[in-house]
Amino acid sequence: MTQPDAAYKARDVTGYADVPAETKEHLFEQVKADPRYADYLYGCYECGICVAVCPSARFYDFSPRRIAQAAAREDVDLIYQQMQEDIWECSQCFSCVRCPRGNNPGGIITIMREVAINNGLASAKEALVGYSRIIYKIMSTGTQVSPDMLQQDAFPDWGPETADVSANLDLWRRALPPETLHTTSTGWKVADSTLIELYLIWLHTGALDMISGVDPSLHAILQEVMEERLEEEGIEP
């Protein structure tokens, strides 16, 4: 039986180009192929407990129940739409694992996001706008946020204390008693040998290549940084 498209599924409200059914099926196949998928979905009662505890459902047109439902019904149209519209609203808090069926809607979303990144979906590109410098930081330095990120223009809503921190950064870092914390451009001092091991992990697990489709210039920069460093050490990447 063909179902009439619900209003929320209508193409003209999605803002994203439609793709052939095979493409949608192919994307969903990739989601299902993730070994974690079977641990995250056991069907759905439609009870809505996950929605009741979901922070993102309170502020966005977003629902973990819809995610679990679409996956359980293998509704590839809706799943494609969710990959373009919904998945980046999730807060990844995992409150939804309270699900009485044992589902993990947040975990399904993590996998859907990975597939969206791997396939360079428009939503993934959009989600990474303004976020690239964070990826650069974590992949190249081994720590995600650094003291020197605390600039008032980046965090104007965090109050005047942010300006105090950035004005006194060097002194305040040197006033920290643990020796590892005197850094300003990384969270702590990461050993060089450790960083090289991290680069090898990014290269050998394909994590670095994942960003080539969504942010080719960031990918090129990171690849150069890593390969140069490995070459200096005489290590085959």
Partner 1 sequence: MTTIPVEALLRKKEHFERGADRRALEDPRAELLALEAQGELVVQKMDREAMAMTTKYGREKRIQKSHLWHHKSCGQCGHIPGYSTSIFWVMRKLGYDYHDPQDQTSCTAWNYYASATSNAAAQAAVAVRNFAAAEQTGYFPLIHCGTSYGHYKEVREELIRHPELRAEVRGIMARLGKQLVLPEEIIHYSEWFFALRHEIAAKQVRDVSNVVVTVHPACHYYKLVEGDALYDPEIYGGQRTAVVTGLAQALGAEVRSYSTWFDCCGFGFRHILVQRDFTRSFATLRKIEVMKEEADPDVVLTHDTGCVTTLDKSQFAAKAHDRNVGVAVLSDAQFAALAMGAHPYKVCQLHWHSADYRPLLEKMGIDHEQAWAEFQADIKRLESGEKRYLDWDDVDS
What does the CA dihedral 61, 62, 63, 68 come to, rounded to 10 degrees? 130
Is residue 229 a contact point for partner 1 (CB under 8 A)?
no
Binding mask 108-137 vs partner 1 (x if CB under 8 A, - otherwise)? --x--xx-xx------x--xxxxx--xx--
Is residue 120 a contact point for ligand SF4 (CB under 6 A)?
no
For residues 92 and 185, which CB has a smaller minimum distance to ligand SF4 in the complex?
92
Is residue 147 a contact point for ligand SF4 (CB under 6 A)?
no
Is residue 15 a contact point for partner 1 (CB under 8 A)?
no
Is residue 157 a contact point for partner 1 (CB under 8 A)?
yes
User: Quick one: which of 110, 128, 111, 131 has its CA closest to 120?
Assistant: 128
Is residue 191 a contact point for partner 1 (CB under 8 A)?
yes
For residues 177 and 234, which CB has a smaller minimum distance to partner 1 in the complex?
177
User: Is the alpha carbon torsion for 4, 5, 11, 13 positive or negative?
Assistant: positive
Is residue 110 a contact point for ligand SF4 (CB under 6 A)?
no
Determine phi and psi for 105, rounding to 5 degrees.
-60, -40
Residue nearest to ligand SF4 (CB): 106
Which residues, 8 to 47, sit near ligand SF4 by CB under 6 A?
Answer: 44-47
- Helices 21-33 and 76-85: crossing angle, nearest 10°? 80
CA pair distance 196, 199, nearest whole angstrom: 5
